[in-house]
Structure 1
Amino acid sequence: MTSDADRALIGHLLRRTGFGASGAEIDAALPAGYQATVEALFADAADPTADPGVAATAPPQLPGTYSGKPTTEPAYDLIAWWLARMTAVRRPWIEKRTYFWHGHFATSIQKVRYAGLMLRQNQTLRTLGGGPFHTLMRAVFTDPAMMLWLDAEGSTANAPNENLARESMELFSLGVGDYTETDVRQAALALTGWRLARADGTALFAPGAHAQGPETILGRTASYDLDSFTDLLLAQPANAAFLAARHWLRFGSDAAIPASTRQNLIAAYRSSAGAASNDGSDLTALARALFTDPAFTGPATRYALVKQPVEYVVGVLRALRVSPPSDGTAADSRLLRQVLNGLGQVPFSPPNVGGWPSGQLWLTTAAAQARIDLAHWAATTGDISAVADAAPSARIEAAAHLLGLDAFSARTTAALSDVVGAPPDLVELALLSPEYLVN
């Protein structure tokens, strides 16, 4: 026997682990219950090819070299493809997770300038984003797009570049205050010697360009290379606490992570330490602990996050069953790029290495027109039959169900009551409602 509380809790989980959740998706998950729905997230992630949405959205064919003429134009196809993939998948956790890591390891095509390398990074984040963080971090260090983005390509013992060393600690693994400027300079030496092969854009190690050491980093002295430096970073107590806080910020709440939640997530992350297949940096265990933590399932986190623009746009497309084209030159693709640009978040183009902001910064008056444009287009293009076919007296409730909302406030309901006779207008206003702008 399920209750309204059960339905609200599962809706909360599906919204946070996907891009919104329609009433139909919530209804389908309800019989299994909350815990089984959580476990289904990770079971599906184990075999992403089983999702028909993946098969229907093959990645664009982009050159993987970095020896040709650089250009950002193929990024249009890249953006269109990822929007199509996020919209098409049946189980969106893998794409939501990839979107999270794209913000964490923020890399912009505006500097990289090779769409094929950006696609390769996107695939790496998708493939490794639920395994050991050690494996993901190690791959990011030699990811070609990241190497170009943070000037690691060509860093030598005689001319070490500090960008990747700094961000690997500040933004990727430890956080501000858990390293010194001396640590940055010494870590830069540990990361020297890596090159990109122009023929296929892969990372190659040139031993002659690598600093021989020893270096003293984070209080420990050794002749470090990329692998031992990665080991050192993940051995720091700050690493687990940093990743716990980052996951809470993006999936839990803008409010500070509760101490008990932080400890639960740290313990889960470190739970596999010493196991043959893991090193105590289990990202799936961390995510499972988050989604089952009392602070996440409690009422304080419901609708506590403002939707980021990509979440909002993809959620609209999914709810109204609009399939965006994977051709970046198509008219609808251009419209969606314009909307995302107006909202302030275009995939593959973060503003800086810190990624995009969160919270109420997305609710600007400048972005309001972009939301209006999207809502009007979607309401006149998408499938709103669930609302149009309902009796006028039931259309507001039907709109809430279509969009996966528990209910509209009395104030929103009063505004929607004025347009119940015009279903497209009703859906458009529902998409612009305060209830739909938060997650």
Structure 2
Amino acid sequence: MRKHYRQVLRAQRKELTLWWLERMVATAQPWTEKRTLLWHNHWATSIQKVKSGAAMLQQNETLRRLGGGDFRTLARAMVVDPALMVWLDADGSTAKAPNENLGREFMELFVLGVGNYSETDVRQAAAALTGWTLDRHANPWKPVFRAARHAKGPETVVGRTADFTARSLVDHLVALPASHAHVAGRMWGALVSNENKPSASALARLVKAYGTERDTTALFRALFTDAAFADPANVLVKQPVEYVVGSLRALGVRPRDLPEKQRAALLLHTLTGLGQVPFAPDSVGGWPAGAAWLTTSAAQARIGFAQTLVRHADLGEIEKTAAKDRAELLARTLGVGEWGAATRGVLTAAARDPMRITALALTAPEHLVLR
């Protein structure tokens, strides 16, 4: 029975991951899926502990549906999200035995940031979140509040004393100035630069756009229109999912059109080798960023991916283009502004072979970064 259970869970994880990758490649609105992946990393939750494909899908749909509106609405939904509750041991937290995991991570990672709360705040927040459990007979699971298991208030959390509920606790925390700066800073790190922090004036612009309505779409717009977004000094290394999905979209290859066995090998094995598989972040802190993706083993995985991908891609446009112009065509196809001198030399040497030059372009340093 245990063996069968593990097989079913692996099948759920595979199906769920391939479903999302197909959606990312096929969508006519890539920003929605990019934003959902961004929030998945922010509210990092792993199926390895949750052990329910349905619960992970429900969370994914919540992030997609609410990820462009009021952050308070999203935070209200996430604090009682079944997958997150299991991931952070909130299911079954009672007045007699409050579990601090959800309260701690909610403040440290999701809403406030390090240094903006105390250990007393963590304990008090844990008490405020007691009483919530899951109805596991429902499909998908449903959060259920049991008043008899809830700690009686009042609690004092980050400067306010009240008889908090999960909802009122969220409302209090997301209204704090520290929360506004934390959310803006996290999004800056994900979309502008993980290495260069925003200046005081840039952060102020972002917080102003986010506003008292906590408008995440306005925040994203402010990020994309900030001068720092286009500054060549700010370079982001593509996350493995971004790299794989972007390459598939550029070459017009849909996961569903690949033979089933090759689909798993090309996508799941590649992402495992690169270190980022959707629905399975490394920790509650999410995946690493920046140069952490540029390892020797990751380079080997990218080479194998590129060599396999070109065998399934329609390279007709490249084949009918003169060899001397193929490097420029691939730059436009892959969204690369300009090849460096070293890369251009390598591509020029391979230009007579459409498959070889395309595979090399897919592994070039210029294709691994977002500028």
Do the two structures share a fold, i.e. TM-score over 0.5?
yes
Q: Which residue of 2 aligns with 1:392?
A: 323
Shift of 1:155: 0.4
Q: Which residue of 2 aligns with 1:243?
A: 183
Residue from 372, 376, 379 that aligns with 2:310: 379
Q: Which residue of 1 aligns with 2:225?
A: 292
Contact 2:128 2:151 in 1 (8 A): yes
Q: Which residue of 2 aligns with 1:264?
A: 205
Shift of 1:421: 0.7
Shift of 1:335: 2.8
Q: Which has the higher contact order (CA 8 A, sep 6+)?
A: 1
Q: Which residue of 1 aligns with 2:285?
A: 354
Q: Does 1:205 align with 2:205?
A: no
Q: Which residue of 2 aligns with 1:221?
A: 161
Shift of 1:292: 1.2
Counterpart residue type for residue 116 of structure 1: A
Report which stretch shifted further, 248-257 or 318-327.
318-327
Counterpart residue type for residue 363 of structure 2: L
Counterpart residue type for residue 96 of structure 1: K
Shift of 1:431: 0.6
Counterpart residue type for residue 119 of structure 1: L
Q: Distance in 2 between matches of 1:121 and 1:182?
A: 30
Counterpart residue type for residue 269 of structure 1: Y
Encode CA deviations 1:289-327: one digit per residue, 9 max, x unaligned.
Answer: 1111122233433xx000000000001100111100299
Shift of 1:378: 1.1
Contact 2:266 2:308 in 1 (8 A): no
Shift of 1:199: 2.0
Q: Secondary structure at the match of 2:186?
A: helix
Q: Which residue of 2 aligns with 1:40?
A: none
Q: Which residue of 1 aligns with 2:171?
A: 231
Q: Distance in 2 between matches of 1:317 and 1:124?
A: 26
Encode CA deviations 1:28-79: one digit per residue, 9 max, x unaligned.
Answer: xxxxxxxxxxxxxxxxxxxxxxxxxxxxxxxxxxxxxxxxx98343110000
Q: Does 1:86 align with 2:24?
A: yes
Counterpart residue type for residue 397 of structure 1: E
Contact 1:108 1:349 in 2 (8 A): yes
Counterpart residue type for residue 225 of structure 2: T
Q: Distance in 2 between matches of 1:354 and 1:73?
A: 26
1:165-184 maps to which residues of 2 (within 5 A)?
165-184=103-122
Q: Distance in 1 between matches of 2:310 and 2:368?
A: 16
Shift of 1:231: 1.2
Q: Distance in 2 between matches of 1:319 and 1:245?
A: 30
Contact 2:129 2:150 in 1 (8 A): yes
Q: Which residue of 2 aligns with 1:332?
A: 263
Q: Which residue of 2 aligns with 1:32?
A: none
Encode CA deviations 1:125-147: one digit per residue, 9 max, x unaligned.
Answer: 00000010000000001111011
Counterpart residue type for residue 139 of structure 1: A
RMSD of equivalent CA atoms = 1.5
Q: 1:203 to 1:70 in 2, by over 3 A?
A: farther
Counterpart residue type for residue 423 of structure 1: P
Q: Which residue of 1 aligns with 2:366?
A: 435
Counterpart residue type for residue 50 of structure 2: V
Q: How many percent identity over aligned positions?
A: 52
| Moved >6 Å (runs of 4+) | none
For structure 2, the residue ranges without an aligned partner over 5 or more in a row are 1-6
Q: Secondary structure at the match of 2:256?
A: coil
Counterpart residue type for residue 431 of structure 1: L
Q: 1:379 to 1:326 in 2, by over 3 A?
A: closer
Counterpart residue type for residue 291 of structure 1: F
Contact 1:319 1:402 in 2 (8 A): yes
Contact 2:93 2:130 in 1 (8 A): yes
Contact 1:309 1:362 in 2 (8 A): yes
Q: Distance in 1 between matches of 2:230 and 2:350?
A: 35
For structure 1, the residue ranges without an aligned partner over 5 or more in a row are 1-68, 274-279
Q: Does 1:118 align with 2:51?
A: no
Q: Secondary structure at the match of 2:254?
A: coil
Q: Which residue of 1 aligns with 2:69?
A: 131
1:136-155 maps to which residues of 2 (within 5 A)?
136-155=74-93
Encode CA deviations 1:62-107: one digit per residue, 9 max, x unaligned.
Answer: xxxxxxx983431100000000000001220000000000000000
Q: Distance in 1 between matches of 2:198 and 2:71?
A: 20
Q: Secondary structure at the match of 2:65?
A: helix
Shift of 1:340: 0.3
Q: Secondary structure at the match of 1:300?
A: coil
Encode CA deviations 1:410-433: one digit per residue, 9 max, x unaligned.
Answer: 111111111111010000001111
Contact 2:44 2:283 in 1 (8 A): yes
Report which stretch shifted further, 199-208 or 330-339.
330-339
Q: Distance in 2 between matches of 1:316 and 1:70?
A: 30
Q: Distance in 2 between matches of 1:351 and 1:299?
A: 30
Q: Secondary structure at the match of 2:144?
A: strand
Contact 2:32 2:64 in 1 (8 A): yes
Contact 1:155 1:194 in 2 (8 A): yes
**Structure 1 length as normaliser, TM-score?**
0.80
Contact 1:131 1:284 in 2 (8 A): yes
